[in-house]
Amino acid sequence: MLRGNKVGLRARHEDDMPVLQAELHDDVVNQARSDTRPWRPITPGSKESPFAVDDKEQRHAAFSVVELEGGTLVGDAVLWNIDQHNRSAHIGLGLLPTSRGKGYGTDVVGVLCHYGFVVRGLHRLQIETLADNPAMLRSAERNGFVREGVLRSSAWVMGEFVDEVLLGLLVRDWKPDLASS
């Protein structure tokens, strides 16, 4: 398990998937705001679940997020589109509704930075988030990510186009303890 100050990132367990699907995927608005693909119903237990993990897939590293104190599941996190040639990847995360507003997002981003830069030897990490997602913007910036641009009207979300913010962090600019100070 990878450990932060408040949360740990561990391999996805079979019993995590129904919780993540019910709390994150089946909430249509949440899913529409967190994924570029249109929402569609997925049968519980299906191999098509967005939370199913293919351990052979090398371009994505999916984790379940748990509280360090007690081990309660609080969300999911992923380093995705890992590009070993360019040594870059993207960060994504989703917290269960009852786990939001507790500082877990900032901690998850920090642990994913450690995983990407230290464990995987990457050079650049990137986050794309909706411009009206202040929690993710704060979590990224507290970990040293810099706003690199705005993709105007690039995300179709529940009947309207929304701007996305692109944030990046290079290993040379990363300060591991920045978010906790």
Residue with tokens 């990490």: 125
- β-strand partners of 128: 166
Helices 134-142, 104-114: crossing angle, 10 deg rounding: 50
pLDDT value at residue 181: 46
Residue 24: domain span: 2-124
Mean pLDDT of all residues belonging to the chain: 93
Judge whether 82 lies within some domain: yes
Judge whether 89 lies within some domain: yes
Judge whether 177 lies within some domain: no
- Amino acid, res. 9: L
Give the tens place of pLDDT for each residue, 167-176: 999 999 999 8
Give the tens place of pLDDT for each residue, 63-106: 999 999 999 999 999 999 999 999 999 999 999 999 999 999 99
Judge whether 42 lies within some domain: yes
Cβ neighbours for 58, distance < 8 A, ≥ 6 positions apart: 82
Judge whether 180 lies within some domain: no
Closest to 109 in 3D by CA, of 128, 134, 131, 127: 127
Residue 15 has pLDDT above 50, yes or no: yes
Residue 180 has pLDDT above 80, yes or no: no
Residue with tokens 């993990």: 53
Contact of 147 with 133, CB cutoff 8 Å: no
State the distance between the two ends of the chain, measured CA to CA, in whole angstroms.
23
- Number of domain units in the chain: 1
Judge whether 116 lies within some domain: yes
Give the tens place of pLDDT for each residue, 136-164: 999 999 999 999 999 999 999 999 999 99
Residue with tokens 């119903």: 41
44-57 mean pLDDT:
83
